[in-house]
Amino acid sequence: MPAKTFPVSVLQNSVKMTLEPPSGLRQNVRSSYEALNWQEIEETEKPESIKKILFGFCFFHAIVQDRRKFGPIGWNIPYAFTNEDLMVCRKQTLLFIDRFDQVPYKVLNYLGANVNYGGRVTDDKDVLLIETILRTYVCKESLDVGHKYSTSGLYKVIEPGEKEDYLKYIDTMPLNPEPEAFGLHDNAEITTK
């Protein structure tokens, strides 16, 4: 932010740093998962359901960020999704799952795809895409251990456990995921930047 009291010469002679999202699907999921407050999750009334849904949201977050590398095949317009989008989804997940007897999938999907992430999505096809992607990760089946997030089955719902269990599973994910992890055809890799 510009400030008249800050000397320009100090800024010109300074090292400037920016914080960018982690590169790669595995690193992105790991970074999102490490940022979760695990004690807050454990103290909820339904920690098992919350852990599974939050893992889905973390994976969704990584997918929508990494689809940018596919250019116009990934998104018609490149979007800058942030960790704050995920953190708002986390808070809403904790609130809604604890408050209701059944997991309100429609509410979580609407808030995630249309409000939290979708608030910056302007292309009508991208709106449909983000809604469809989120329904893969936040759905009734996402409470079933083994539910596949991709056709290969490499990415799936695991048994709810401790944070370290999830991090170990994340470390088994491929460093260079195939396009199928993003819901794309194998030929989509030709367009990666």
> For residue 14, what pLDDT is reported?
81
Total number of domains in the chain: 1
Task: Output the 3-class SS for 69-123.
Answer: HHHHHCCCCCCCCCHHHHHHHHHHHHHHHHHCCCCCHHHHHHHHHHHHCHHHCCC
- pLDDT score recorded for residue 20: 61
Please say whether the beta carbons of 170 and 33 come within 8 A. yes
pLDDT the model gives residue 91 = 96
Domain that holds residue 105: 25-183
Please give the model's pTM, rounded to 2 decimal places: 0.86
Closest CA to 28 of 189, 191, 182, 133: 182
Asked whether residue 6 is domain-assigned, the answer is no
Residue 18 lies in a domain: no
91 within domain boundaries = yes
Q: Which residues have C-beta within 8 Å of that of residue 129, sequence separation ≥ 6?
A: 75
Phi, psi angles (nearest 5°) of residue 105? -60, -45
Q: What is the pLDDT along the chain (193 residues), one digit of tens a residue?
A: 667 787 888 878 888 776 665 678 999 999 999 999 999 999 999 999 999 999 999 999 999 999 998 988 899 999 989 999 999 999 999 999 999 999 999 999 999 999 999 888 999 999 999 999 999 999 999 999 999 999 999 999 999 999 999 999 999 999 999 999 999 988 887 766 5
Q: What is the CATH number of the domain that holds 82?
A: 1.10.8.720
Q: Is position 171 within any domain?
A: yes
* pLDDT at residue 187, as a whole number: 84
